[in-house]
Amino acid sequence: MSNKLTQVFDFLLARLHVWIVLFSGILVCTSPWIFIGRNLRTNAGVWDYLHVYLGLVCSALGILFLLRNSLQGKWHQYFAWLVGDWGQLAQDIKGLFKGKLPVAGGKGLFSTIEGIGMILLVATGLTGVVWFIYQGSPLAMTWRGYHQICADAFIGFLVLHLVLAATHIIEFIRQ
């Protein structure tokens, strides 16, 4: 890979979270303004095109983000429960019942929620991509339904993620 291409790739990866937040925010906030059913209409508006093509870009970024946070053993931080490592997660949940906020990082509640969020981001993106591929066919509406379910779950994650980030910042300020 050329030096210039490596620099561009490194720049993108270093700011991946920011790009995903920005693009996801635009997609979520503008989604009520779009009307896409079985296919992208010939007289589709700017919001429809923006949603489709920004969504395709965000799908690729979501996959990159999941890979970046999962390769070289890093997946264990977000998905420790998959291999039966419930220790810190259980400790964080018990602490919540005692009024104690979980710590960020490690294999606890915050990291588990972040891992679920990455899966929801990728699922939302991939169902949108498949919907785009099948546009005009009877399967398009089925994949549109899957995409809406994943998008709703992802929006729920975003709200939870914002609340948790706010509590983390408040706790940081207190100390």
Q: What's the pLDDT tens digit per position in 104-118?
A: 778 889 999 999 999
CB atoms within 10 A of CB 4: 8
Tokens of 160: 């939870």
- pLDDT surpassing 70 at residue 143: yes
Kindly state the average pLDDT of the residues 22-46.
87
Residue 153 has pLDDT above 90, yes or no: yes
Arithmetic mean of pLDDT over the chain: 89
pLDDT of residue 5: 76
Rounded Cα–Cα distance for residues 116 and 79 (Å): 8
- 68: burial class by Cβ within 10 Å (0-12, 13-18, 19+)? middle
- The reported pLDDT for the residue numbered 33 is 84
The range of the structural domain enclosing residue 26 comes to 3-174
Domain count across the chain: 1
d(CA 42, CA 33): 17
Q: Which of 78, 104, 81 is nearest to 92 (CA)?
A: 104
Q: What's the distance, CA 22 to chain centroid?
A: 11
Across 25-30, average pLDDT: 94
* Rounded mean pLDDT, 131-135: 94
Closest C-alpha among 66, 64, 70, 54 to residue 22: 54
Q: What is the mean pLDDT of residues 8-33?
A: 88
Among 11-15, 17-21, 86-90, 170-174, top mean pLDDT goes to 17-21
**Using alpha carbons only, what angle is made at residue 48 by residues 45 and 54, rounded to the nearest 5 degrees?**
130
